[in-house]
């Protein structure tokens, strides 16, 4: 009888848990026996996602939902049996606002991250000057650019739609997702569908409309809005994945100290006080800690991973005892040109049902990199409350306050990222026992992390 294939998944965030679940699925389909270990350095699974119940408020640790046009998470929810727990955003709210000169204005309906596809709403918006609107509307007349190796998001928006659309709409929306400077972010690595729209239709605006029409024609099965979550928060996904693991497979508070390849294949993993041998290793952790572990055995691979930049932000969750006036839509994004400490706000209790007790509100304020890395919790809370007071005229003292900070945790896919990925893949081929997952390589959202984990599992059992 063949010995079971020993598979270690290092990191129990969404990517690592998805990798582990997929290993079990693939092994079952192939009739193979695996011995699975999921090893997490901290004292809880879930990584940057999870939900805490605090005095009746449902407070997310990180992402409060996910985008549905990438199918990996929806497909996983079906296989886990939690598809029935998916929820859509509350329909009574809709939309978000952007700050201009300290005042809030609705983001034009139909504005697609960087392109004004809803023409009437865009033309009547006070966010952009008449000259800026004329420049943006002229995009449909511009020629298709020659194909480029790579280009920054800012360069693309500027040449297609002009400076005002970049500064007033695209930058705060992109910053809210990536927490990074669009002057540095790679278009191909982050939002290639906009480049595809230009290359296939000449005009980005026309191309996006055609993409939407094709998606509507080919849609089938259950329909979701652009965003979804779970009825009791993102913890539902974490609990389902953990619950699907074999008894004893998950080990917490077990930081990995070293990896040593074995001549016969596989690797030896060193922890405090003991070592283990595994036939396959999936590193589902951030690029920089992966680089530190891999540097002794492959310095060029570690160097490429180390080159992937990561940013920081802080999140202040505040639960209020009453329904607050002035909360319109799902939240607020704040352009860099406003020179404010906050970069975005989410009105969690208006976006999702049952996130706060009846008659209460839950607001999340995102603060920038310098504060996240340098300020103590007291200053973060004070700054978040000052921003609420200045922008929304909310001066209530919150009943519940929960601070989360994410230091060097947000991957920034700078121009040249895809070329770096190609080199990483080539160097990884020399280590057939090793796979990489996580969100540092091929997408920052939860669905991207899920897909990265499943792809790593596929490689591990190939």
Q: Hey, is 74 helix, strand or coil?
A: helix
Q: How confident is the model at residue 215 (pLDDT cuts 50, 70, 90)?
A: low
Instruction: Catalogue all structural domains in the chain, each as residue range(s) with its CATH number.
Output: 5-48+235-308+413-460 (3.50.50.60), 109-218 (1.10.3110.10), 309-412 (3.90.660.20)
Backbone angles phi, psi at 137, to 5 degrees: -65, -25
Name the band, by pLDDT with cuts 50, 70 and 90, for residue 221.
very low
Angle at 256 between CA 312 and CA 286, to 5 degrees: 30
The predicted model gives 243-251 an average pLDDT of 97
Beta bridge partners of 400: 319
**Residues counted in the chain:** 462
Buried b (16+ CB within 10 A) or exposed e, 286-307: bbbbbbebbeebbeebbebbbb
Beta carbons of 320 and 330 less than 8 angstroms apart: no
Say which residue, 233 or 195, is predicted with more confidence.
233
Alpha helices in 258-312 (DSSP H): 287-294, 299-306
Q: What's CA 199's distance to the chain center, in Å? A: 26
Q: Over the stretch 303-343, which tens digit does the pLDDT of each residue have?
A: 999 999 999 999 999 999 999 998 989 999 999 999 999 99
Of 89-93, 127-131, 259-263, the least confident: 89-93
Q: How many helices (H) and strands (E) does the chain have?
A: 18, 22
Q: Above 60 in pLDDT, residue 219?
A: no
pLDDT of residue 391: 96
159 Rama class: left (phi>0) / alpha (psi -120 to 50) / beta:
alpha
pTM for this predicted structure: 0.93
Region 122-142: mean pLDDT is 94
- Cα gap 289→304, rounded to integer Å: 12
Give the tens place of pLDDT for each residue, 153-204. 999 999 999 999 999 999 999 888 888 899 999 999 999 989 888 988 899 9
With 70 as the cut, is the pLDDT of residue 381 above it? Answer: yes
pLDDT band at 222 (very low <50, low <70, confident <90, very high): very low
Confidence of residue 223 (pLDDT cuts 50, 70, 90): very low
Would you say 55 and 25 are in contact if contact means Cβ atoms under 8 Å apart?
Answer: no
Contact 115, 204 (CB under 8 A): yes
Mean pLDDT over each residue of the chain, to the nearest integer: 93
Question: What is the C-alpha separation between 227 and 346, in angstroms, rounded?
Answer: 14
Distance, in Å, from the CA atom of 78 to the CA atom of 51, rounded to the nearest integer, reads 21
| pLDDT, tens digit (0-9, with 9 covering 90-100), for 415-433 | 999 999 999 999 999 999 9
> Band of the pLDDT at 225, cuts 50, 70, 90?
low
pLDDT, tens only, 64-94? 999 998 899 999 999 999 999 999 999 877 7
């Amino acid at each position: 009888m063949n010995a079971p294939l020993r598979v270690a998944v290092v990191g129990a965030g969404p990517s690592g848990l998805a990798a582990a679940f997929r290993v079990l699925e693939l092994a079952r389909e192939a009739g193979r026996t695996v011995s699975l270990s999921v090893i997490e350095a901290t004292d809880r699974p879930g990584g940057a996602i999870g939900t805490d119940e605090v005095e009746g408020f449902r407070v997310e640790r990180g992402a409060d939902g996910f985008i549905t046009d990438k199918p990996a998470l929806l497909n996983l929810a079906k296989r886990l049996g939690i598809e029935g727990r998916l929820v859509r955003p509350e329909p009574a709210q809709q939309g978000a606002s952007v700050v201009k000169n300290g005042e809030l204005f609705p983001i034009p309906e139909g504005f697609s991250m960087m392109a004004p596809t809803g023409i009437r709403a865009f033309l009547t918006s006070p966010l952009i000057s008449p000259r800026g609107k004329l420049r943006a509307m002229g995009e449909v007349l511009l020629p298709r650019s020659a194909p480029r190796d790579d280009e920054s998001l800012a360069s693309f928006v500027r040449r297609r739609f002009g400076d005002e659309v970049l500064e007033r709409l695209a930058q705060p929306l992109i910053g809210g997702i990536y927490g990074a400077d669009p002057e540095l972010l790679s278009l191909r690595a982050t939002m290639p569908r906009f480049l595809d729209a230009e290359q296939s239709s000449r005009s980005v605006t026309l191309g996006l409309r055609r993409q939407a029409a094709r998606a509507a024609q080919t849609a089938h099965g259950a329909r979701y809005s652009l965003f979804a979550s779970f009825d009791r928060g993102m913890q539902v996904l974490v609990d389902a994945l953990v619950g699907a693991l074999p008894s004893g497979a998950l080990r917490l508070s077990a930081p990995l100290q070293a990896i040593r390849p074995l001549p016969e294949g596989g690797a030896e993993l060193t922890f405090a006080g003991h070592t283990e041998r595994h036939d396959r290793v999936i590193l589902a952790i951030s690029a920089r800690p992966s680089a530190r572990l891999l540097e002794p055995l492959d310095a060029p691979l570690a160097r490429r991973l180390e080159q992937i930049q990561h940013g920081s932000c802080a999140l202040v969750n505040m639960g209020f005892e009453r329904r607050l006036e002035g909360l319109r839509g799902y939240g607020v994004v704040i352009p860099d040109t406003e020179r404010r400490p906050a970069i975005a706000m989410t009105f969690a209790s208006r976006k999702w049902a049952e996130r706060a007790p009846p008659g209460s509100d839950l607001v999340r304020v995102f603060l920038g990199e310098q504060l996240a890395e340098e300020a103590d919790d007291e200053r973060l809370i004070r700054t978040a409350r000052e921003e609420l007071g200045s922008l929304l005229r909310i001066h209530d003292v919150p009943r519940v306050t929960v601070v989360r900070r994410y230091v060097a945790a947000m991957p920034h896919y700078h121009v040249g990222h895809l070329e770096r990925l190609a080199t990483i893949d080539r160097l990884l081929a020399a280590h057939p026992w090793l796979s990489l997952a996580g969100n540092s390589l091929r997408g920052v959202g939860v669905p991207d992390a899920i897909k990265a984990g499943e792809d790593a599992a596929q490689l591990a059992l190939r």
